[in-house]
């Protein structure tokens, strides 16, 4: 599995569709805060403005654009600047529209030709999941000009989602839901290649030398890695590799290895009954005691205690 796929799979990426909208002018909708999700809006037809931060200009979302808003922050969707201050809470919009979870969410004045169709939903990660990559992403990712900048696959996938979601065709909502889980990975790849190369942490996934070392770590997280071995894989001197890795990733190579091992351990502890010694060996520790010491150092709880607490929440 490639590096980005391995990380997103480990974080248990899951997509959820809310609805396809049919908003007709004038309209303005306030989307409330929702913790630990990345919301997305795909402009299937028409256009709108999105206010994410009161201190910055709104995002202009045109037909074919995708907007992913990280960390579940509150934001306002509206048709034009004159309606922004009239925003209605999303819950009230759903109630007034009579939306019952099927078909499109229809809202606004009837008879107007100024319609905006959005496909809206969110992405979530497992409760026990975290990674430097996700933490380093900006407040939002806006990808436009799919045909020329992002390739036909992403453009066509989003078109299929727009055509399937909320239209009542057999299996259509499930098709749209499953395809939506592809969108985050595809959009993140496009964004990393086009805009994220100079940002801390994200730079490491674009840098060819550091990316080779990261790929090796992810293929064999339990391997007895040394700085010398990783530097050789990266095609760099030991000192040069250590310096560049720290500059790109904001952690040392050994620090990253431990972080990823702990991510694997958390996932297996929370979602399986696998013996702790097996998890220890899988993540590079030769004894349960050594693994327990490392795990407790990072989580302030022994693995068995942490497992009981996580599984009691499920």
Chain segment 13-48, per-residue pLDDT in tens: 777 767 788 999 999 999 999 877 889 898 888 999
Residues 6 or more apart whose CB falls under 8 angstroms from that of 301 comprise 295, 309
**CATH number reported for the structural domain that contains residue 289 in this entry:** 1.10.10.60
Q: Is the peptide bond before 26 cis (omega within 30 degrees of 0)?
A: yes
**Res. 1 pLDDT band, cuts 50 70 90:** low
Out of 118-127, 161-170, 175-184, the most confident range is 118-127
Rg (CA), the chain: 22
Q: Are residues 158 and 59 located together in one domain of the fold?
A: yes
Query: Is pLDDT of 150 > 70?
Result: no
Assess if residue 201 is contained within a domain.
no
Q: Are residues 9 and 151 located together in one domain of the fold?
A: yes
Number of domains in the chain: 2
Query: Is pLDDT of 93 > 60?
Result: yes
For the segment 53-67, what is each residue's pLDDT rounded down to a tens digit?
Answer: 988 999 999 988 889
Tell me, what's the pLDDT at 154?
54
Assess if residue 199 is contained within a domain.
no
Q: Are residues 30 and 142 located together in one domain of the fold?
A: yes
Q: Mean pLDDT for the chain? A: 85
Query: Is pLDDT of 148 > 50?
Result: no
Query: Is pLDDT of 232 > 90?
Result: yes
Assess if residue 78 is contained within a domain.
yes
Query: Is pLDDT of 158 > 70?
Result: no
* Distance of alpha carbon 48 from alpha carbon 66, whole angstroms: 12
**Res. 160 pLDDT band, cuts 50 70 90:** low
Least confident of 171-175, 213-217, 220-224, 309-313: 171-175
Q: Are residues 178 and 216 located together in one domain of the fold?
A: no
**Of 266, 273, 275, 253, which Cα lies nearest the Cα of 294?**
266
**Res. 283 pLDDT band, cuts 50 70 90:** very high
Cβ-contact 87, 78 below 8 angstroms: yes
Cβ-contact 40, 66 below 8 angstroms: yes
**Res. 295 pLDDT band, cuts 50 70 90:** very high
Assess if residue 52 is contained within a domain.
yes
Q: Which domain holds residue 304?
A: 207-313
Domain boundary among 194, 220, 243: 194
pTM of the model: 0.80
Cβ-contact 97, 105 below 8 angstroms: yes
Strands in 59-61's sheet, in edge-to-edge order, are 59-61, 48-51, 75-78, 28-31, 88-89
**Res. 147 pLDDT band, cuts 50 70 90:** very low
């Amino acid at each position: 599995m490639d590096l980005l796929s391995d990380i997103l799979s480990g974080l248990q990426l899951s997509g959820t569709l809310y609805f396809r909208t049919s908003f007709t002018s004038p309209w303005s909708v306030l989307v409330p805060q929702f913790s630990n999700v990345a919301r997305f809006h795909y402009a299937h037809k028409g256009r709108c403005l999105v206010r994410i931060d009161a201190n910055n200009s709104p995002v202009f979302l045109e037909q074919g654009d995708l907007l992913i808003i990280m960390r579940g922050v509150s934001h306002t969707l509206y048709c034009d600047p004159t309606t922004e201050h009239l925003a209605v809470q999303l819950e009230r919009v759903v109630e007034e529209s009579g939306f019952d979870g099927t078909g499109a969410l229809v809202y606004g004045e009837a008879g107007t030709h100024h319609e905006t169709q959005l496909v809206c939903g969110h992405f979530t990660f497992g409760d026990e999941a975290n990674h430097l990559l996700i933490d380093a992403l900006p407040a939002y990712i806006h990808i436009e000009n799919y045909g020329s900048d992002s390739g036909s696959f992403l453009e066509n996938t989003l078109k299929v989602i727009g055509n399937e979601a909320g239209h009542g065709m057999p299996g259509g909502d499930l098709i749209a839901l499953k395809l939506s889980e592809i969108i985050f990975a595809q959009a993140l790849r496009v964004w990393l290649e086009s805009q994220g190369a100079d940002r801390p942490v994200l730079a490491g996934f674009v840098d060819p030398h550091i990316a080779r070392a990261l790929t090796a770590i992810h293929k064999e997280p339990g391997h007895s890695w040394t700085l010398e071995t990783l530097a050789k894989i990266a095609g760099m001197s030991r000192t040069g590799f250590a310096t560049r890795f720290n500059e790109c990733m904001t952690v040392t190579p050994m620090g990253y290895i431990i972080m990823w091992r702990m991510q694997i351990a958390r996932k297996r502890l929370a979602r399986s009954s696998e013996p702790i010694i097996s998890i220890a060996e899988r993540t590079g520790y030769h004894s349960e005691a050594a693994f327990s010491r490392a795990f407790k150092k990072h989580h302030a709880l022994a693995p068995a205690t942490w497992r009981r607490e996580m599984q009691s929440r499920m």
